[in-house]
Amino acid sequence: MLSDIEDGMPFSEAMAKHPEVFEALAVSMVKAGELSGNMQRSVLFLADNTEKNYELNSKIKGALFYPIFVLSASLIIGFIVFTVVLPKLTNIFKDMNVEIPWYTLVLMKTGDFMATYWWFVGLSIVAIIGGVIYYVKTADGKKEWDMVKMKIPVVGNLFQYVYISRFSENLAVLLDGGIPIVRALVIVSEVVNTTTYEGVILRAADEVKSGGSMSSVFARSEYFPPIVSQMVKIGEDSGKVSEVLRHMSVFYNQETDRISRNLSTMLEPILITFLGLGVGVLV
């Protein structure tokens, strides 16, 4: 980049040559600063936006750590029970020479199989997890996963609020930086990081380009609550879209905080039920 800038290339163009480092939003904000002659304002907007996006991502990771840890620990414990504990109990039942119910026989056979072919079971689990991760990284897999995670109880609301907050904040930053609304929507669709919202935002860009409004597209989408389309419409009618978007970003950021703090409490009954069923089957 330094050599490009020394050769007279604009800073934004030098950044655009490294898309693996600089997102389209950053490049556009710097370009807007170059055109307006107010680079400092654009960079400050960008720094504040980057910090807020980082906080949102941290909230997601922190909120999901507990349920993922519990489920992972449960799977590991279940594997140990079936491969180590259950075979020993099976030998005890055989020595007692009593009639064994069919469901107990199924568990015993399963335990014997896993104890004998534990390496095969382990490799199969690793292969399945690896296959799922690989598929999710493909275009079709990412699209399906983006749709599925929005429908997960409790967690789906967290993702929805994070994406709406990120969309609102990023679009407000671009509009305040002087980026035309259609171009701003296209840029936000690229950095929102989910195919579900990307499609809706691109439809909104097409609608605005043809003389329509964003709010009409959001009103028809299941991924935007009615209050979002209503607030955006107010912003469109009053000419204060970026101001309304910032209020939306603050509101949904607060909602993200609330769900993040309470996620463990809300998921505990589901996790306890899941673990209880597992223990009940074994008992």
**pLDDT tens for residues 259-270?**
877 776 766 676
Does the structure show a pLDDT above 60 at 44? yes
Containing domain of residue 22, as a range?
1-51
Does the structure show a pLDDT above 90 at 127? yes
Does the structure show a pLDDT above 60 at 92? yes
| Domain end call among 73, 104, 137 | 137
- The confidence band for 203, taking pLDDT boundaries of 50, 70 and 90, is very high
- CB-CB neighbours of 193 under 10 Å: 15
Kindly state the DSSP code that residue 21 receives in the 8-state scheme: T
CA-to-CA distance for 53 and 31, rounded, in angstroms? 21
| Its pTM surpasses 0.75 | no
Does the structure show a pLDDT above 60 at 283? no
Same domain as 262, residue 187:
yes
What is the number of domains present in the chain? Answer: 3
Mean pLDDT (whole number) for 162-168:
87
* CA 190 vs CA 11, 26, 44, 249: distances in Å: 21, 12, 21, 18
Of the two residues 28 and 168, the one the predictor is more confident about is 168
Asked if residue 191 is part of any domain, the answer here is yes
Same domain as 182, residue 111:
no
Same domain as 172, residue 101:
no
Same domain as 237, residue 217:
yes
CA-to-CA distance for 163 and 172, rounded, in angstroms? 14
Same domain as 276, residue 161:
yes
Does the structure show a pLDDT above 90 at 4? no
Does the structure show a pLDDT above 90 at 200? yes
pLDDT the model gives residue 116 = 80
**For the chain, percent of residues with pLDDT exceeding 70:** 86
**For the chain, percent of residues with pLDDT exceeding 90:** 16
With a CB cutoff of 8 Å and minimum separation 6, the contacts of 186 are: 202, 205
